A and B are shown apart, each in its own frame.
Chain A
Amino acid sequence: GAVVSQHPSWVICKSGTSVKIECRSLDFQATTMFWYRQFPKQSLMLMATSNEGSKATYEQGVEKDKFLINHASLTLSTLTVTSAHPEDSSFYICSARDGSVSSYNEQFFGPGTRLTVL
């Protein structure tokens, strides 16, 4: 089955530093990847959608300069949280869509990254 990995699985950083989270599709080509944020006991909040080779589309209220997304290849997307602050502490989840299946909107999820900003 389609597998998506995320790295790191957890990270602790100091306020003001930047953190990069990687999302990889291991056995399929992900033409579209999604980045979500999940707050405790809440649903997923879509942050942005990225298509390989083009700029990410950010949801309303998500600062594109703070959450930099790069989708440079069909198997890798990165999310960089720049100048992180404690309020950025959250669980970040990526998902990917298999580009070879044209009709489905099914997304395959990574295990998530727990970010704690001190």
Chain B
Amino acid sequence: AQRVTQPEKLLSVFKGAPVELKCNYSYSGSPELFWYVQYSRQRLQLLLRHISRESIKGFTADLNKGETSFHLKKPFAQEEDSAMYYCALGGDSNYQLIWGAGTKLIIKP
């Protein structure tokens, strides 16, 4: 079964501390993974896609097929990083995305 698990509903860290938002997936084929972010009162927007291997706003995410993980990391958190973060998996059917439950990230000053 295709599934995305984000084990933490809420993650709170201090400004300047490292951040890691966990995402594990279950998928039999070659996965296509994304991180989306939703800032307060804004629409969902793409943060990262694994295929691009890019760093956006200081965030990186590495696909680990052995651990079936796609954790999102940032070495030094900033207050503006506070948001909801969703991990998503490209599914088999009609370009659908399989969504994780989301993690609310709070950066404390």
Contact = CB atoms under 8 A, between A and B. Distances in A.
B36 to A, nearest CB: 8
A43 B45 contact: no
A58 B99 CA distance: 17
Contacts of B100: 43
A10 B86 CA distance: 24
A44 interface: yes
Interface residues of B, dominant DSSP: loop
Interface residues of A, number: 21
Given A42-B101, A43-B86, A110 B43 contact: yes
Interface residues of A, dominant DSSP: strand
A91 B43 CA distance: 12
A32 B101 contact: no
Nearest to B100: A43
Contacts of A49: 93-96
A61 B49 CA distance: 30
Query: Residue among A34, A44, A95, A112 with the most chain B CB within 10 A?
Result: A44
Nearest to A6: B43
Interface in A28-61: 32, 34, 42-44, 46, 49, 51, 57
Interface string B88-107: 00110111110111100000
A86 to B, nearest CB: 24
A65 interface: no
Contacts of B101: 42-43
A47 to B, nearest CB: 11
Contacts of B97: 34, 46, 105, 107
B32 A46 contact: no
Given A42-B102, A105-B34, A105-B91, 17 more contacts: A32-B94, A32-B95, A34-B97, A42-B101, A44-B99, A49-B93, A49-B95, A49-B96, A57-B94, A93-B44, A95-B44, A104-B32, A104-B49, A104-B90, A106-B34, A109-B45, A110-B43
Interface of A: 32, 34, 42-44, 46, 49, 51, 57, 93, 95, 97, 104-112
